[in-house]
A and B are shown apart, each in its own frame.
Chain A
Amino acid sequence: MILRPLLIALLLALVLRPEWFTPVFAPLAPEGGPVIYQRASLLSLSLSHLGLVAAASLAATVVAVTLAILVTRPAGAAFRPLSRTITNMGQTFPPVAVLALAVPALGFGAGPTLVALFLYGLLPIFENATTALSTLPPATMEAARGIGLSRWQRLVRVELPLALPVTLTGIRLSVVIALGTATIGSTVAARTLGEVIIAGLLTNNTAYVLQGGLIVGLFAVLIYDALVQIERRLAARIGA
């Protein structure tokens, strides 16, 4: 895929040297208005945006995988429907509503956005991890018990590694959703690339909207692609 280096170059240029694109975006900016967003550096907005997504996704992964492990143990099987309901609610509840509800409790800033992204990200990871952990190859699991691995050793040495590729697919979905969703965090003063888009909307400046949207989109595509590559590698190792 020769497209990948091109996209990476385009993204880097958009973030680090936005002024290069003045001629491209100029026709979209309002007459006499600014073409390139300059109220904050795009690099620092990007880093803050990615940081929020990474933190929320990490927390969602830890919680969702832990839950998945618990409900796939014999003792936890009874909690499976309940956990599913909870994670489902996390996803059906609109992130905007979560933001609105979280602001009184957490104040403006990164807090409410983190909560919204975290809740929104739980479901795909939980579903995939649960499915992966409950459909492991039976002969391998029987052998793992048969040769004398303890429960913990089975989990760490066999179950989690074998469940990893499918779990990672869930994480990928979750991260990509979070990358897009994080933009609305700007409405409650979280520093994300949404700031650029919203500034564009408020000032009728399509150049800003396009700039912000393009950067977010490119991050999403490239991260998605990178995670797909990792999954392929892992899955190939696990034997196909």
Chain B
Amino acid sequence: MIEIDSITKVYGDETAVDAVSMTVQTGTITVIVGTSGSGKTTLLRMINRLEEPTSGEVRIKGQSTLAVKPHILRRRIGYAIQGHGLFPHHTVARNIGAVPELLNWSRDKTEARVDELLDLFSMEPAQFRDRYPGELSGGQQQRVGVARALASRPDLLLMDEPFGALDPIIRTRAQEDLRRIQRQLGSTIMLVTHDMEEAIRLGDRVAVMDAGKLVQHGTPAEIITQPATDFVADMVGDVERPLRLLSLIPLSDLVEDGTADGAPLSPADSLRDALSACLWTGRSAVPVVEDGAPLGRVTLDAIRARARAHT
């Protein structure tokens, strides 16, 4: 558990982060979202003390981050940033193994971990281990950057717009990878973005920042259906709101007995996927199939009813 306790950062006469408090549960993804200049990066950098707070403190597993030397603290906290920041003069393996090396892991253990992570990110270890960052595509560099941040199984992983520089298709894939890997490893992640779509897709919790203040902290559904301020409502977007909500709900929630024609969806797909399929193919229901076994169907009427039942 990470407790952020009334943390504040003042630059001159500007308050970049204003008395932000929140608690992050172990094994969850918290996405910090807000417009440019709202203090997201500053908040994140105060957690691993790349920036010293003007006041307030952060506790990880009950221990204040002020109790250890900053560079020692940072070895326990993964850090991945936009533009990856890989060491261009080190191989992929050495980049990923950078923190284990600092922590004096044995060679074998580090090598095994590097290969494990490369596998996890769908990069063939034998092929990529000995390459230099300059010999990778942008998406691959980004994955290596995230792998480096995860290498020592940190208590907490901080990510500052890690997918900001990727094209939309690679970006969606990277988000899916992260979600899958996070589930698999049970990591605790705090991720900064200014993209509400990304926040809703990835977050167990979403924290919305506006002008240095934390204006709302809740589940994606709460952010969508009960925005605390006009600013949050604006971030979600009126037009997008119903679709965003539907994107959070899996078909398994609404599946009912019966049959339907056309291409089936899986129970893990969202209501938004089903709505989209219905509209595009002119159907009023879609079949739901799990591993080849029919589970039933989801109807357009049921989706409509679910979208209206938000309050």
Q: Is B128 an interface residue (CB 8 A)?
A: no
Do the beta carbons of A145 and B50 come within 8 Å of each other? yes
Give the A interface residue count (CB, 8 A): 22
Do the beta carbons of A239 and B88 come within 8 Å of each other? yes
Do the beta carbons of B86 and A143 come within 8 Å of each other? yes
Write the chain B residue with the least CB distance to A164: B89
Q: A139-B84, A140-B88, A143-B79 are in contact. Are A150 and B71 (CB under 8 A)?
A: yes
Do the beta carbons of B81 and A158 come within 8 Å of each other? no
Write the chain A residue with the least CB distance to B76: A148
Q: In the assembled complex, which residues on chain A have CB atoms less than 8 Å from the CB atom of B50?
A: 142, 145-146
Do the beta carbons of A143 and B75 come within 8 Å of each other? no
**Binary contact track B41-71/A, C-beta < 8 Å → 1, others 0:** 0000000101000000000000000000001
Q: Is B274 an interface residue (CB 8 A)?
A: no
Q: In the assembled complex, which residues on chain B have CB atoms less than 8 Å from the CB atom of A143?
A: 79, 81, 84-87, 145, 148
Do the beta carbons of A147 and B149 come within 8 Å of each other? yes
Q: A139-B83, A240-B134 are in contact. Are A148 and B72 (CB under 8 A)?
A: yes
Q: Is B102 an interface residue (CB 8 A)?
A: yes
Q: In the assembled complex, which residues on chain A have CB atoms less than 8 Å from the CB atom of B149?
A: 147
Q: Is A39 an interface residue (CB 8 A)?
A: no
Do the beta carbons of B89 and A148 come within 8 Å of each other? no
Among A147, A153, A162, which residue has its beta carbon within 8 angstroms of that of B79?
A: A147
Do the beta carbons of A142 and B81 come within 8 Å of each other? yes
Interface residues of A in 149-164 (CB under 8 A from B): 149-150, 153, 157-158, 161-162
Do the beta carbons of A139 and B148 come within 8 Å of each other? no
Q: Is B303 an interface residue (CB 8 A)?
A: no
Among A149, A161, A239, which residue has its beta carbon within 8 angstroms of that of B133?
A: A239
Q: A147-B75, A147-B79, A239-B133 are in contact. Are A140 and B85 (CB under 8 A)?
A: yes
Give the B interface residue count (CB, 8 A): 28
**Binary contact track B78-106/A, C-beta < 8 Å → 1, others 0:** 11011111111100000000110010000
Q: In the assembled complex, which residues on chain A have CB atoms less than 8 Å from the CB atom of B132?
A: 237, 239
Q: Determine the distance from Cα of A7 to Cα of B72 in the docked complex, in whole angstroms.
A: 54
Q: A146-B74, A147-B148 are in contact. Are A238 and B86 (CB under 8 A)?
A: no
Do the beta carbons of A146 and B85 come within 8 Å of each other? yes
Q: Is A137 an interface residue (CB 8 A)?
A: yes
Write the chain A residue with the least CB distance to B79: A146
Write the chain A residue with the least CB distance to B72: A148
Do the beta carbons of A149 and B83 come within 8 Å of each other? no
Q: Is A228 an interface residue (CB 8 A)?
A: no
Chain A CB within 10 Å — which of B50, B74, B82, B149 has the most?
A: B74
Write the chain B residue with the least CB distance to A151: B71
Write the chain B residue with the least CB distance to A165: B89
Q: In the assembled complex, which residues on chain A have CB atoms less than 8 Å from the CB atom of B133?
A: 239
Q: Determine the distance from Cα of A54 to Cα of B88 in the docked complex, in whole angstroms.
A: 30
Q: Is A28 an interface residue (CB 8 A)?
A: no
Q: Determine the distance from Cα of A91 to Cα of B78 in the docked complex, in whole angstroms.
A: 47
Q: In the assembled complex, which residues on chain A have CB atoms less than 8 Å from the CB atom of B86?
A: 140, 143
Do the beta carbons of B87 and A148 come within 8 Å of each other? no
Do the beta carbons of B89 and A146 come within 8 Å of each other? no
Q: In the assembled complex, which residues on chain A have CB atoms less than 8 Å from the CB atom of B82?
A: 139
Q: Could you write out 7 A-B pairs with CB less than 8 Å apart?
A: A139-B82, A143-B145, A144-B87, A146-B158, A147-B98, A162-B88, A239-B132
Sample of 16 more A-B contacts, CB < 8 Å, known A139-B81, A142-B85, A239-B133: A137-B85, A139-B83, A140-B85, A140-B87, A141-B85, A142-B50, A142-B81, A143-B84, A143-B86, A146-B50, A146-B85, A146-B158, A147-B98, A148-B71, A238-B89, A239-B134
Chain B interface (Cβ < 8 Å from any Cβ of A):
48, 50, 71-75, 78-79, 81-89, 98-99, 102, 132-134, 145, 148-149, 158
Chain A interface (Cβ < 8 Å from any Cβ of B):
137, 139-150, 153, 157-158, 161-162, 237-240
